[in-house]
Every structure is written in structure tokens, then in C-alpha cells.
Amino acid sequence: MNNLNELRAKCKEIYKQKLSRPRVVVGLGTCGIASGGDKVMAAIKKEVEARGLDVDVDFTSCIGMCYREPMVEVALPGAASVVYGDIFPDKVAQLLESHIVNKKPVYEWAAIQIPGEATPYEGIDIMEQSSYYGKQVRSVTSRLGRTNPEKIEEYIATGGYEGIEKCLQMERQAIIDEIKKSGLRGRGGGGFPTGNKWQFVYNTPGEKKYAVCNADEGDPGAFMDRSVLEGDPHSVLEGMMIAGLAIGADEGYIYCRAEYPLAIRRLNLAIAEAEKHGILGDKILGSNFSFRIKIKAGAGAFVCGEETALLNSIEGQRGMPRVRPPFPAISGLWAKPTCLNNVETYANVPFIIRKGADWYASMGTEKSKGSKVFCLTGKINNTGLAEVPMGITLREVIFNIAGGIQDGKKFKAVQSGGPSGGCLPEEKLDLSVDYDSLTAAGAIMGSGGLVVMDETTCMVDVAKFFLNFTQLESCGKCTPCREGTKRMLELLQKICDGKGELKDLDTLERLAKVIKSSALCGLGQTCPNPVLTTLRYFRKEYEAHIVDKRCPAGVCAALLCYVVVAEKCTGCGACLRACPAGAITGEKKEPHSIDTSKCIKCGACMTKCKFDAIIKA
């Protein structure tokens, strides 16, 4: 068997060369590009050329601080790397002038620094000690924002493909044992022990087997898998290869949603590069193991994230879940034994093999080992990607890493696990983030989306939002999910419209119970969770809508009434001009008034009023 020693030495040399040169690196993940990263890139190239600077211009993926995009890293040989945030094209000239030409960082724009072996700059947070990264671990995300995801050399130079190289020397059962020992559980949300799943596929007789990667990340507010695919595509390929080797598969599919064009592009590139170097394809590294990976772009159905619907979709069928059992490990893609894991699960595998199961199991709690990547979104200061050790508390994630609630408002709830998850209130903030604790509280770990809500969020409205989502995305196959979510949604709408009755809450609970117990697939069985948890923790808010005909958060339009506080109104007329419905009247310099029968409750008057004279009542 061949080894990668020679190639690795070459890659390390190339990578070392890169690090020894002055360089400017732009974060070009989807978040960076959406914030204008490509324009920043163009501006940097133009500036470098115009000034004739001796500096390399490169790109990387998202480092995780999405709230500071576009981000630009500037590094000089022998000095700490500085990662700047909110760098728009108009800041480029000054940034290069100061940091490259005058060798002085622009302190006020710096987000973090990564000193490496160099002396840190004073006055810039060191990454590992910063408020955002201090409580994080960087394992699956270690290359994100640090290497160029389109260069296989950088993957190999940083330990990439050591895992498969090592596994090719191991007994297949020993690979599975190592994964079992690590305690890795499915990161797609289910939390099934990965090693056990591999064992089932291994044990199932069959000439042909498949390793399939679920990259159909569809939860609102979730982008963990996208970030990993865009930032470290080779780690997913390597994880799949190791799985393929262990279970006896020679073919793999990555089912990636078409809404992730950059991830698909980088995956295709990674596959081509790996094949070019003989790491992927026939007789890998001269061994008897052959493995090929194909990409199937999903057509936009949320339900295709459900494993059996995903398999149907790859086969060209309509994405509708199949009855389990048989589980995919027994009869999966084209009825062959199939190992199905999600992106983050596969991406963890090379690290576990390289660093050992004990290292991995040393992180986390007794039953939830390792780290988990979360997407922090909602009404928090720091939205972005965070990899944390299992067992961290929600409070630490929300108030330390995510920087607490925006505009000093009050925390109200955190939604974990997307449409299948639940909303947890303040008293659950000290809950340990692990599979079992979250499930016990009525939420689920899910794939890692955390949506944080503040006091201006109406929990009935939130439940309605998620039910609307699941209703639209229900495949329509089974009765409880197709028809039941529709009626739940109608009941929630009725409550938001101020027409609810207390017995509607009982009906909601009954429907939720029946849908959970009798729906065919995971989507249906979990979709009542947002309603059940909001009813469990925020029942008073439902009752306020029903009994008092009041939306405490001031969100549900039908229950709102905009009124003018006469004492504060100066009669400036700004509200009158802003009102699209002609509902406001009043003489100049006299207090105005709102005709509630004409008011469409758009809130334009309140936004325009400079004197806080219009309030929601």
C-alpha cells in the first residue's frame, strides 16, 4: 500500500510557504459573500495591485463570527494574525495602509487575533480567550476560517487524510469499535450512536452497500452543515470514506440541498482533487479499497432531510418517507444496506480516528460525548457558528458566546432543534446541552439551530410560525401530519386573531398528542413540539390572547390597538403623513387621534413618532 508521506511533506511545505508570507485573507463563506465579501476581495486586489504591495491575497470560509462579516484576516510573517470584522470596501485602503504598509493593526476594527508563536498585539482579544471563542472548542470547525477550502494541499498539511490512511491499516471491525468507543452520536438530531449504526450495516450481508451523507439541512436558522461543507469539504469526504471502508461500501452519495450552491461547488472541487491524488476512487492509495462519491442536489423539500425520504429522492422518487423498519442499515438506497449520517457526524470521524476515541470521549457528558456545532440566531448580539463541548449550559451559550440579548432587552425563550424542537424559557437556561436533558425538557438537540427570542416575541406567534412551516413542508402521505397540522395551524391563527376559546387549548393538545403518536415519520412525530413546549412554558401567554384578548408581546395585529398619548403628542403631523390608511386626524400643534376602525395596525405611525406619543395598547 502506498502512503501519503511524500504528498504530505510537499503539502506541508506549500502551507508553510503560505504562512511565511504577508497575506490578506477574506472570509468567503456564504455569509461573507452575502455581506459583500466578494466586493471587499475585489477592492483588496485592486488596492494591492495599485500600490504594488508584496502581499498574497487569499480567501477562506466563515470563521464563525457571522455577525462581523465581511471579515478579513491580515497576517505578517512573525507577527500575530489579526482578524478584522465589518470590513467593507471603503475601509480597505486604510486597512492595507496601516497593517501592511505601516505594520500597525487597525485596533478599533480588529475582532480577534491569533498569535500562534508570535507575540500578541496588546489590546486585541486573543481568539481562545475572547468572549466569543473562550468557551468554544474548535474540532470539526478547526479549519473553518483558517484554511482555503478549495486547496487539498492545506487539508493534507493540517492532518487531513491521515484518518483514512490509518484506517486502511486497520481491521474493519476495529474502525467501528473506535467510533463506538468515542461515543459519537448522530449530529443530525436523532442522536443515534454512530458506531452502532455502522455495526448494523457491517453485519448486514450484501455485496453492495452505500454510505450516504445527509446534507439537506433545512431547519429555519440552521447552517452548521453548510458552514462545514463550505469550510472543510474534505473532512466530510474523508469521514464518508472511513465509513465506507468500515461497513464495506464502495459508493457514497452526498444529498445536498440545491440552495447551497457554494457547498456543492466546493464539494465537487474537493472530490475532483481527491480523485486526482488517488485518495478517492479505485484502489485508494494502492489498497483494495475503492470508493466513489456522487453528489445529488435536493430540490428543496424539507422532508427530504428525513432519511428514508432522502433515499427515495436519490432514487428519483417523490421525497416521501418510507415505513421503518426496515431501517436503511438493512434496506436503504436501492434496497441495499446503507449507512446514513449527516455532515457533522461524518466530519467528526477523521478527527476521532486521528486523535483517538479517548480524546473525543474526554469532551462532553456521560451520554453525550464530544462537541456540537450550534448556529446562534435570533435576538442576540453575536449571531454565528459556535462549536461547544456537550454539557455546556444554554446560559453560557446565549449570554457568553452569543453576547446576550440585543438592545438590552429581556430574554424570553430559546428554540432548539428547529420545527421539531421546542421553546425553552428562562428557568431552563441552566440546562446542560446534551441529547437527554434537552429531550426531557420537551425540546430536542436537533441539528444545532438555536433561535433566541426576546420579550418582543409572541410565543403563540412563534408556535404558529413553526406549524405553518411544517404544514407547508409535510409530504402529505400520512393523515395526522397532513390534516392535523393544518387544523393546529388554524387554531393558532384563531387565537392570534383574538377569536380563541379556552377549549381550543385542549384541542391543540389532543391534536398534538395524536399527531405525535400516530404520524408516519420523524417530521410528523415531532412537529407538535413547538406548540407543546410553548403551551407548557408559556400557557399564560396563550390565555392572555384568549381571555384578555391581549397579545402581551404586542405582536398579534388583531389584538393590538395603537393609541396616541395626548400629553406627549406635539401635533407635528408626522404620524398623519405616514399613515397609509388615513386613520389619523388632528389639527396642527394639537394632539392627534387614531380611528381604530380605519387603522390597519401597520405600526408606521409609531415608527415615525419622535416623541414616543404613540403606544400599542
Residues that bind another protein (CB under 8 A): 301, 303, 318, 320, 323, 325, 471-480, 482-487, 490, 510-511, 513-514, 516-520, 525
C-alpha cell at 517: 403518536
Q: Decide whether 151 or 322 has the Cβ nearer to another protein.
A: 322
Q: Decide whether 277 or 482 has the Cβ nearer to another protein.
A: 482
| Minimum distance, C-beta of residue 318 to another protein, in the bound complex (Å) | 6
| Minimum distance, C-beta of residue 484 to another protein, in the bound complex (Å) | 6
Burial of 498 (0-12, 13-18, 19+ CB in 10 A): middle
Strands 210-215 and 251-257: parallel
| Minimum distance, C-beta of residue 92 to another protein, in the bound complex (Å) | 46
Q: Decide whether 116 or 476 has the Cβ nearer to another protein.
A: 476
Q: Are 446 and 189 in contact (CB under 8 A)?
A: yes
| Minimum distance, C-beta of residue 192 to another protein, in the bound complex (Å) | 13
Chain centre distance of CA 276: 31
Q: Are 481 and 519 in contact (CB under 8 A)?
A: yes
Q: Decide whether 269 or 514 has the Cβ nearer to another protein.
A: 514
| Minimum distance, C-beta of residue 483 to another protein, in the bound complex (Å) | 4
Q: What distance, in Å, lies between the first and last C-alpha atoms of the chain? A: 76
| Minimum distance, C-beta of residue 473 to another protein, in the bound complex (Å) | 6
Q: Are 435 and 367 in contact (CB under 8 A)?
A: yes
CA–CA distances in Å: residue 212 to residues 195, 228, 243, 268, 592: 15, 16, 9, 16, 64
C-alpha cell at 280: 478517492
Strands 210-215 and 72-75: unpaired
Q: Decide whether 507 or 596 has the Cβ nearer to another protein.
A: 507
Q: Decide whether 330 or 578 has the Cβ nearer to another protein.
A: 330
| Minimum distance, C-beta of residue 342 to another protein, in the bound complex (Å) | 21
Collapse the DSSP code of 328 into the 3-class scheme (helix H, G, I; strand E, B; otherwise coil) and give the result.
Answer: coil
| Minimum distance, C-beta of residue 475 to another protein, in the bound complex (Å) | 6
Helices (H) and strands (E) in the chain — how many of each? 25, 18
| Minimum distance, C-beta of residue 327 to another protein, in the bound complex (Å) | 13
| DSSP single-letter state for residue 455 | T
Q: Are 72 and 82 in contact (CB under 8 A)?
A: no
Question: What number of CA atoms fall less than 13 Å from residue 253's CA on the CB side?
Answer: 24
Q: Decide whether 288 or 517 has the Cβ nearer to another protein.
A: 517
Q: Decide whether 227 or 313 has the Cβ nearer to another protein.
A: 313
Distance CA 501, CA 547 (A): 8
Distance CA 219, CA 529 (A): 14
Q: Decide whether 123 or 300 has the Cβ nearer to another protein.
A: 300
